[in-house]
Amino acid sequence: MSIRRISALAVLMLTLGGTAAVIAVPNPIEPETIAQNERPNRPAGKENMMFEQLNLSAEQKQKMQGVRDRYKEQISQRMQAVRQGRQELQTMMSGTANTSQIRDKHRQIMGLKQQLEEVKFESMLATRDILTPSQRSQLSQLMQQRRETAKNRMQNRPKPQ
């Protein structure tokens, strides 16, 4: 997941009233198919286009890049730890681990996810501070439109047999 998307989503979550809109996390026993910072089937710079619509000043753009740079490594490390934990859990589920060991691994993954969300939240707050109130409102509207489009795509997708 790109830091731009994380920043954009973070701003949206805050402007919509908190962490209720946290990104859905896939089932922990399903393998990860998306590598860090790779967005298959999505045009590059889609998040940039959204920020372009906000008419950010040169100073705001520079500050946004600073926020991305500041949190990128922390987010990347935590995402990798969650992925590794999920892989270990999947191995445990198909292996001979007992229920207690599996529960412990699940708790560990949940703690790692919480750490990841805390860093994302801090990034969101830093990004939010860069935007003017009208830009925050506009970004909220853009993200709402984006969510509606994604929801419609999911509803119109063929159902697996």
pLDDT digits (tens, 9 = 90+) for 11-25: 444 443 333 333 333
Note the pLDDT of residue 31. 37
Q: Is residue 21 part of a domain?
A: yes
What is the rounded distance in angstroms from the CA atom of residue 4 to the CA atom of residue 59?
A: 17
Closest CA relative to residue 119, chosen from 19, 39, 16, 15: 19
Please give the residue range of the domain that contains residue 94.
3-40+68-148
Least confident of 6-10, 29-33, 42-46, 153-157: 29-33
Note the pLDDT of residue 49. 75
Q: Is residue 51 part of a domain?
A: no
Supply 7's token pair: 């920043």
What is the rounded distance in angstroms from the CA atom of residue 101 to the CA atom of residue 55?
A: 51
Q: Is residue 47 part of a domain?
A: no
pLDDT digits (tens, 9 = 90+) for 18-59: 333 333 333 333 333 333 344 444 444 566 677 788 889 999
Q: Are 126 and 71 in contact (CB under 8 A)?
A: yes
Q: Is residue 112 part of a domain?
A: yes
Highest average pLDDT, of 1-10, 11-20, 39-48, 69-78, comes from 69-78
Closest CA relative to residue 139, chosen from 150, 127, 151: 127
Q: Is residue 109 part of a domain?
A: yes
Q: Is residue 100 part of a domain?
A: yes
Residues in the chain: 161
Domain count, the chain: 1
Q: Is residue 49 part of a domain?
A: no
Q: Are 108 and 81 in contact (CB under 8 A)?
A: no
Is the pTM of the predicted complex or chain greater than 0.85?
Answer: no
Is the confidence at residue 69, as pLDDT, over 50? yes
Q: Is residue 8 part of a domain?
A: yes
| 99-107 mean pLDDT | 96
Give residue for tokens 């919480």: 114
